[in-house]
Amino acid sequence: MFVLGIETSCDETAAAVVDGEGRVLSQVVLSQIAEHKPYGGIVPEVAARAHLTHLDRLIDKAMTDSGIAYADLSAVAATAGPGLIGGVIVGVMTAKAIAMVHDIPFIAVNHLEGHALTARFTDNVAFPYLLLLVSGGHCQILVVEGVGRFRRLGATMDDAAGEAFDKVAKLVGLGYPGGPAIERAARDGNPTRFAFPRPLKGKPGCDFSFSGLKTAVRLAAEALPEMNEQNAADIAAGFQAALVESIADRVARAMAVFQSDYPDGRTLVASGGVAANTALREALVKTSAKRGMNFVAPPIALCTDNAVMIAWAGAERLKLGLVDGLDFKPRPRWPLDPDAVPVRGAGVKA
């Protein structure tokens, strides 16, 4: 089994080929950081045009590097949502064209399921497992019961964790992308200088909230006479510590629910771009150990958006006969658990 994966949901244009045994035959990722950096964030129209410009070339390179021909492909999989709809359309239409020309199945992959199943690709994690999905656009905790089977335990009521990183980094002049910038600055900062809140810590439920923390950071920054390098480092360290502590608390609560409902479940998986954060990983290792659970996080290159995870999700779906028609419509929003009760809040992204 050979599956071509295509990822265009945000600001990475990517293509990869994997086989059914979990081997990467090729992968190509083109980042758009330089295009979006002047704006301090992602501009959807700029992203879509970049995907359109580069995708065909990247797919050709991925196929050449893989050493197989299009005729050898078992299927082509593409991120079909959720994401910036312009970019999603570019990837989906390209995948449909390949499927039609080469008479192979087309598989519409939920971008979040790509993140969710990556740990099965890298670590052969068995179902069910608990998933913390933290990225620039999403912050959720779910039980992964199987391919296409998710039960959401909690989600953000406002900002996603990655959004909070980007906004705080911009506020203190650390630039874009915010996650790596905050982590670098925090190494030289004092995490106890500012008394930032730990949102929802100790509260019932498993939902997240980061808007109050973001506001506290803004007020602290505005109260300073100047934003020099040390002040920025201290704010970064304090913000990161507060966010990590808050997430760890919510995850611990979700673990209690998970272990009650699934006594054989023993694994916590963290995935998504923010799962690359070292401080968060260390906190989750400790939280997992306290609950007697294993902690798994994919390699950093597979936490951020990539096409390997889309190809693998496509392979998992293909094994179950889950393929899609060429009339599938790209989706800007596509919840993993459509039956979950909507989370209140202005910034919710299902």
Domain layout of the chain by residue ranges: 2-116+302-319, 127-300
Is residue 103 pLDDT above 60, yes or no? yes
pLDDT tens for 205-235 read 999 999 999 999 999 999 999 999 999 999 9
Nearest to 236 by CA among 284, 170, 287, 286: 170
Q: Return the CATH number of 127-300, one of 3.30.420.40, 3.40.50.2300, 3.40.50.620, 3.30.70.660.
A: 3.30.420.40
Confidence at residue 137, expressed as pLDDT on a 0 to 100 scale: 87
Q: Spell out where 135-185 has E strands.
A: 139-146, 149-155
Locate tokens 């980042």: which residue? 31
Identify the pLDDT of residue 350: 47
Provide the pLDDT for residue 345. Answer: 57
Fold match, 2-116+302-319 / 127-300: yes
Structure tokens at 298: 């994919």
pLDDT per position as a tens digit, 27-75: 999 988 788 877 777 888 899 999 999 999 999 999 999 999 999 999 9
- Look at the pTM and tell me if it is higher than 0.85: yes
Tokens (6 digits) for 213: 């923390």
Q: Report how far residue 135's alpha carbon sits from residue 132's, in angstroms, rounded to the nearest whole number.
A: 10
Q: Is the pLDDT of residue 348 over 60?
A: no
State how beta strands 106-110 and 139-146 pair: unpaired
Give me the CATH topology for the region 2-116+302-319: Nucleotidyltransferase; domain 5 (3.30.420)
Crossing angle for the helix pair 178-186 and 161-171, nearest 10 degrees? 70
* Tens-place pLDDT, residues 254-301: 999 999 999 999 999 999 999 999 999 999 999 999 999 999 999 999
Mean pLDDT of the chain: 95
CA distances from 295 to 27, 239, 270, 271, 317 (A): 26, 24, 8, 11, 25
Pairing status of strand 24-31 against strand 149-155: unpaired
Q: Which amino acid is at 208?
A: F
